[in-house]
Amino acid sequence: MIKFPGIRRFSKMLAISMLAVAPSISHAAQAPSRVGTFTLGNGLQVVVIPDHRAPVVTHMVWYKVGGADEPKGVSGIAHFLEHLMFKSTEKIPVGEFSKIVAKLGGQDNAFTGHDATAYFQRVSKDKLPTMMEMEADRMVNLRLTEKEVLTERNVILEERRSRVENNPAAILNEQMDAALYLSHPYGIPIIGWEHEIAKLSREDALNYYKFFYAPNNAIVIISGDVTVEEVRPLAEATYGKLVANPAVGATRVRPQEPPPRAARRVALEDPRAGKASLHRDYIAPSYVTATPGEAEALDLMGKILAEGATSRLYKKLVVEDKVASSAGGSYEGSGLDSGKISLYAIAADGVDLGKVEASMDAAIAEIRANGVTDAELQRSKNSNIAAYTYESDNQMTLARRYGWSLSLGRSIEQIENWPDAIAKVSAEDVKKAAARYLDVRGSVTGTLTPSEAAVQAQAPAKTRS
């Protein structure tokens, strides 16, 4: 499945449910598309996903811009603007946006990724017109004072300190990404580098906002108790009044990675590290950049190799070799320009990380050389299709699924045909993907270990004879 971005390594927005769903049955034939879409005159795409079980709707606005689109030296401005969008317009006083949503009985939030930024509310159906009016207002009428910007900048700096600087694993993750991507901005953290955040200004925020936040660079997703016929006049009356920005909305052009030539290594010592751990990331294609069937093969390979206690990695390192207390990983295929295969292992007590790495390398070499069994492949297909099926029962999850993929340029047909594409993957496809992309030359290996002083402090005291 496509994974959504988050600050925690290996975390997933959506739980994987284990239900056997026969992949030989066409998902498209079982569930015809219920999704409707139309485009306003100013270029805004509106997508409607009806779900009439309760009088509730999820309203999401997706902007096709994220951390990887920032000007060089201005890292964190995409995430910073996400925070500032909750300030004020001429119609909405400072800090009142979320309060209004709450008073209407709803919930709201936002998130920033490398490739997209999204804002959402979950409200009763009768409050949808108000949500659309409020989002349309702040799409073009954001008002920022110098004081608001400086105050929020301090909030972001504190967020970075709490989420990154106080978390050795997050520090290692940043350093590994910076080493993995030699040219592409995926190597820059979404939250930004601290020294660059500290210099972000009101002018930086407004320049970014005025260029990227426009109806022709956005997608509105509405899932829940609505129909296209109900949404269209509401969209015309709110978003339809906005003027497009002809300078934005074209294909995004970013620096691309050179061919990988050498494996890279990052070592971090930190007294807060706890148990020593080993991490390995490989650059891989995403669902956008892969050849047909390749991302699906990587998805299935990632589950077989690294997801859960039945994975190859867990069984090899934890159960058989007993060099790790935990091991896992995933394939992350949600990027516009590339994806990533991430693996990790936490060393067992008293085990050197060299032994952990040797065991991990052996598991990787095995799947590259011999591929996977038909039984493993079938279980992985069943699990992935089951997860897709269960997620289709949640209107928030559906809004995220369609919003994220459409903001990357994928089509509704590609989103809905994913189970069929997964079902078509062969064991040979998985073997080829593993052999090609589990190539150490396109990887970075990271180690996280407690400092020597911390190790000695944790060691049991010797008793005198």
Domain shared by 399 and 353, yes or no: yes
Sequence-distant (6+) residues with CB within 8 A of 364 are 305, 343, 438
Structure tokens at 151: 């105050």
Pairing assessment for the beta strands 443-449 and 277-284 based on DSSP bridges? antiparallel
Question: What digits encode the pLDDT tens for the residues 59-114?
Answer: 999 999 999 999 999 999 999 999 999 999 999 999 999 999 999 999 999 999 99
Q: Which residues are bridge partners to 443 per DSSP? A: 282
Domain shared by 205 and 269, yes or no: no
pLDDT at position 456 is 56
Domain shared by 92 and 220, yes or no: yes
Whether 322 is in a domain gets the answer yes
pLDDT at position 149 is 96
Tell me if 67 sits within 8 A of 208, measured CB to CB: no
pLDDT at position 457 is 53
pLDDT at position 459 is 52
E-assigned strands of 285-350? 324-332, 339-347
- The one-letter code for the residue type at 73 is G
Tell me if 50 sits within 8 A of 37, measured CB to CB: no
pLDDT at position 451 is 81
Domain shared by 284 and 139, yes or no: no
Domain of 88 in residue numbering reads as 32-241
Helical (H) or strand (E) element with 220: strand 218-224
DSSP letter at 337?
Answer: S
Domain shared by 231 and 340, yes or no: no
Domain shared by 96 and 185, yes or no: yes
Under-70 pLDDT residues of the chain: 1-32, 453-465
Whether 7 is in a domain gets the answer no
Annotated catalytic residue: which of 82, 294, 307, 376?
Answer: 82
User: Where a domain ends, among 210, 241, 272?
Assistant: 241
**Cα distances (Å, whole numbers) of residue 314 to 26, 322, 341, 360, 433:** 32, 10, 16, 9, 21
Whether 251 is in a domain gets the answer no
Whether 215 is in a domain gets the answer yes
Whether 134 is in a domain gets the answer yes
Whether 6 is in a domain gets the answer no
Sequence-distant (6+) residues with CB within 8 A of 6 are 12, 13
Within 10 Å of residue 155's Cβ, how many Cβ atoms?
Answer: 11
Domain shared by 212 and 314, yes or no: no
CATH number of the domain that 273 lies in?
Answer: 3.30.830.10
Whole-angstrom distance, CA of residue 129 vs CA of residue 345:
49
Burial readout 171-192 (b: 16 or more C-beta within 10 A, e: otherwise): bbbbbbbbbbbeebbbbbbbbb
Structure tokens at 398: 């559906």
Whole-angstrom distance, CA of residue 49 vs CA of residue 402:
9
Longest CA span, the chain: 87
User: Where a domain ends, among 241, 274, 308?
Assistant: 241
Sequence-distant (6+) residues with CB within 8 A of 138 are 85, 89, 92, 97
Whether 464 is in a domain gets the answer no
Structure tokens at 245: 């920005």
List alpha helices for 112-216, DSSP H: 128-140, 146-160, 168-180, 194-197, 202-212
Tell me if 61 sits within 8 A of 135, measured CB to CB: yes
User: Where a domain ends, among 206, 241, 276?
Assistant: 241
Whole-angstrom distance, CA of residue 419 vs CA of residue 422:
5
Structure tokens at 382: 């069943």
Domain shared by 297 and 396, yes or no: yes
The total domain count for the chain is: 2
Domain shared by 200 and 300, yes or no: no
Domain shared by 211 and 298, yes or no: no
pLDDT at position 251 is 83
Structure tokens at 42: 């100013």
Whether 23 is in a domain gets the answer no
Domain shared by 151 and 270, yes or no: no
- Kindly report the pTM of this predicted structure: 0.90
Whole-angstrom distance, CA of residue 352 vs CA of residue 348:
9
Question: What digits encode the pLDDT tens for the residues 145-155?
Answer: 999 999 999 99
Is 159 tagged catalytic? no
Domain shared by 162 and 285, yes or no: no
